[in-house]
Structure 1
Amino acid sequence: MIPRALWRRSLPRYLAALSSFSAADMVDNNSDGAVPNSNLRRHRKFWLDDGSLIVRAQDDLYKVHRTLLTRHSSRLASLVDGTPHDTSDTAVCPTVHIPEGVGLESTNFEALLEHLYHDTPISDGSFRHVAGVLRASSKKQLDLPSVHNQARQKLESLFPSVPVPYFHSDDADKALTLAVEYEIPSIQKALYYSLATNSNLEHDDPDGPSSRPTSPAPVRPDLSPELAARCRTLLDQLVAHFTPVLFTVATAHHMACTNVFAEAWMPLVIQPALEGSGLCRPLETLQTIMDLDWAAHGLCADCVRDKREEWKGEQQAVWDAMDDWLGLRRSGGDNGTT
């Protein structure tokens, strides 16, 4: 008969080891990676034969190298240290289950591992890959500071931080969500502007008449109600700011050149802007005005040069005003922290 004291000491240790290793053992014993009577499945790529740690992210199991993760992430290190396992049994890996409250998605953890194993470094990654690494490495999730900083820098390089007319990105809505969540103000203006001036941000009105029944509506961006409201407000502010600029006929240093503007401003500037929603897109409309061949319409070279500088300055004025409209810090100041 087993002494009662020995039984009391051995049973908790046995149960802890069993709970830590059972999922890994079942996966190893099934060639298709599925765990019997479970939704768990070993990851198709990151189930490494020589791995020393099994990490569960959502319903995926990853068998990876413990030190590669724990030296970058104090959070993972603490989870591993807090996982009970029998250190005398080197044939079995400890299993760490990332808590649901951390919010780690398996696809983002995969992107992080692709970076750490140099399969897809952040420097070569797509927006989707960089976004996954940014989230997984953040303090809110696994907390890998150096990797997170690299992802931030890469994300900043993907979008302009200065006024760029005609800028558009299919990922603008997702990028803006990330830039706001992780406080990356340098790219927020370009993303807000792009979404405000190029997106369908109206509220649903199934019973209301359509002003353009034959025209397909732009794809509605995937934004939170708060961000969508900020974009709508920004559009109103852009229109209010640019309306007097557009409808004020330009003047020049010479009367002859001023007369050119008086005759050409309506057909060359105002009418095309109204027909092409230019009132809602001041950066693009100003660029169109700058690109016109004013010399061919009779403007002297000095006035062409001076007016183009003036219109470029107006582009910058719109850009600078957005700091106040959006409540952003100046680009020369602190770029925010995570």
Structure 2
Amino acid sequence: MENFRPTKRSKLELAAPVSHKNEQFWILDGNTVLEVGGVLFKLHRSRLVDQSIFFSHLLDERNVQMDGVVVKSDENGIVYHLSNTTPKDLEALLQLDKNPMAYYLVPPPFPVLAAIIRAATALRFDTYRAFAVKHLENAWSSSVTDLTTERKSNAVEVVVLARTCGINSVLKRAFYEMVRVAGYGLGDGEFDADNGERPQEISRADERRLERMREHLISAWLQVAVRVDRTFICPNQPKEPTAGTESRSSTLPKCPSLYSKRDAWERRVHDSGLYAEYKFDPFCGLQALIDIKWDEDEGWCSDCVHAKREVWRTMRQRTWERIEVWMGLDK
């Protein structure tokens, strides 16, 4: 019996991906075939043109040529090969187009939301992009009143998405979430995603921004929390009487001594671990100081507590506003 030897195939032929039809979006009565990353989509031309500026230009009868698009003919007819999106991203976008009300009340999980934004940005589905970006902005609010001690995940991915798709409105919150955790939440370069993809990385310029921001936040926290403010004067501190007036010392409540306040500060700020806990996060740290019931169990007078809380609230707001300058986001 003769030995059977298979016919040799060229390296180019072996490397070429074998396209397969998308199970859900190979529509039988569709009339436009797209190929993305080896996956074929058969869709309705009228819907694509109606929803997407990209496709309204691409599918124009004048056959406009566009970067990142190769048009070929095969057994499926005319096929538009796209390189500006991925099969997963396009499928997420088409799912939204199939049922626009699906995420009206409950937003999609972040991976799906990010996929929609990437595809909608690349393919100019502007209405769906605006819808998805609004969900992202709500989840990554830039208001100081929305900051909590609960850490938000996916901050690195949000920065990468924002930089890629031009969504600067979420950068402030995402940078803040990164800067208040050890290592900025950056991966160690290993394959740690469920699908084996490499973790996303931010630019070196953004890493330097994070370093600068952390330095400012540490400085702000040191300024307020390292020790009790010795320069603070209690609002009800009696003043020396002037000629023709009587001293108010007998009518004002007695304010505890600086020693008493300092002792309370050591116990509630340092001994409790609060100072170390908020080393990189003065915003939640200041809120923790505001929430302490100083006048009930620490012997501070109520006027002192009220005045200090106003100082801390003001500092919290102004420090948050300065982040745009520190990070270069105000340009």
Q: Same fold (TM over 0.5)?
A: yes
CA contact (8 A) 1:71 1:77 kept: yes
Give the distance between the partners of 2:103 and 2:167, measured in 1 at CA: 17
Q: How does 1:268-287 map to 2 (within 5 A)?
A: 268-273=268-273, 276-287=276-287
CA contact (8 A) 1:54 1:61 kept: yes
Give the distance between the partners of 2:269 and 2:163, measured in 1 at CA: 36
Give the distance between the partners of 2:272 and 2:163, measured in 1 at CA: 35
- State the SS of the aligned residue for 2:59: helix
Give the distance between the partners of 2:236 and 2:264, measured in 1 at CA: 16
CA contact (8 A) 1:52 1:93 kept: no
TM-superposed deviation, 1:108: 0.8
TM-superposed deviation, 1:200: 1.4
Q: Is 1:223 matched with 2:205?
A: no
CA contact (8 A) 2:180 2:281 kept: yes
Count of residue pairs brought into register by the alignment: 271
Q: Equivalent of 1:44, from 20, 23, 43?
A: 23
Q: What is the one-letter code of the residue matched to 1:106? A: P
Identify the residue that residue 107 of structure 1 maps to in structure 2: 88
Identify the residue that residue 154 of structure 2 maps to in structure 1: 171
Q: Is 1:68 matched with 2:47?
A: yes
Give the distance between the partners of 1:132 and 1:180, measured in 2 at CA: 14
Identify the residue that residue 129 of structure 2 maps to in structure 1: 148
CA contact (8 A) 1:200 1:221 kept: no
CA contact (8 A) 1:53 1:65 kept: yes
- State the SS of the aligned residue for 1:329: coil
Q: Indicate how the Cα distance of structure 1 residues 153 and 201 shifts in structure 2: closer, same or farther if over 3 A, else same.
A: closer
Query: For each residue in 1:239-273, what CA deviation from the matched residue of structure 2 results, as whole angstroms up to 9, or x when unmatched?
Result: 12321222241333245246342221122113445
Percent same amino acid at aligned positions? 23
Q: Is 1:253 matched with 2:235?
A: yes
Give the distance between the partners of 2:299 and 2:213, measured in 1 at CA: 37
Identify the residue that residue 15 of structure 1 maps to in structure 2: none
Give the distance between the partners of 1:271 and 1:92, measured in 2 at CA: 72
Unaligned runs of 5+ in 1: 1-36, 206-219, 331-338
Q: Is 1:185 matched with 2:186?
A: no
Q: Equivalent of 2:139, from 158, 173, 176?
A: 158
Identify the residue that residue 196 of structure 1 maps to in structure 2: 179
Give the distance between the partners of 1:258 and 1:284, measured in 2 at CA: 28
- State the SS of the aligned residue for 1:235: helix
TM-superposed deviation, 1:221: 7.7
TM-superposed deviation, 1:109: 0.5
CA contact (8 A) 1:46 1:63 kept: yes
Q: What is the one-letter code of the residue matched to 1:311? A: W
Q: Indicate how the Cα distance of structure 1 residues 94 and 121 shifts in structure 2: closer, same or farther if over 3 A, else same.
A: farther
Q: What is the one-letter code of the residue matched to 1:307? A: K
Q: Indicate how the Cα distance of structure 1 residues 143 and 308 shifts in structure 2: closer, same or farther if over 3 A, else same.
A: same
Q: Indicate how the Cα distance of structure 1 residues 203 and 130 shifts in structure 2: closer, same or farther if over 3 A, else same.
A: closer
Q: What is the one-letter code of the residue matched to 1:55? A: L
TM-superposed deviation, 1:324: 0.9
Give the distance between the partners of 1:134 and 1:203, measured in 2 at CA: 22
Query: For each residue in 1:107-166, what CA deviation from the matched residue of structure 2 results, as whole angstroms up to 9, or x when unmatched?
Result: 11111101111177453322222211111111xx21122222222212111112112132
Higher helix share: 1
Give the distance between the partners of 1:183 and 1:38, measured in 2 at CA: 32
CA contact (8 A) 1:230 1:326 kept: yes
Identify the residue that residue 137 of structure 1 maps to in structure 2: 120
TM-score of the superposition, structure 1-length normalised?
A: 0.71
CA RMSD of aligned residues (A): 3.0
Give the distance between the partners of 1:292 and 1:204, measured in 2 at CA: 36
TM-score of the superposition, structure 2-length normalised?
A: 0.72
Identify the residue that residue 324 of structure 1 maps to in structure 2: 325
Q: What is the one-letter code of the residue matched to 1:316? A: Q
- State the SS of the aligned residue for 2:180: helix
CA contact (8 A) 1:56 1:95 kept: yes
Q: Indicate how the Cα distance of structure 1 residues 80 and 258 shifts in structure 2: closer, same or farther if over 3 A, else same.
A: farther
Q: Indicate how the Cα distance of structure 1 residues 227 and 273 shifts in structure 2: closer, same or farther if over 3 A, else same.
A: farther
Give the distance between the partners of 2:87 and 2:186, measured in 1 at CA: 33
Give the distance between the partners of 1:136 and 1:191, measured in 2 at CA: 21
Give the distance between the partners of 1:224 and 1:258, measured in 2 at CA: 51
Q: Indicate how the Cα distance of structure 1 residues 114 and 54 shifts in structure 2: closer, same or farther if over 3 A, else same.
A: same
Q: What is the one-letter code of the residue matched to 1:61? A: L
* Greater alpha carbon shift after TM alignment, 128-137 vs 252-261: 252-261
CA contact (8 A) 1:53 1:95 kept: yes
Q: Is 1:116 matched with 2:117?
A: no
Q: Is 1:300 matched with 2:311?
A: no
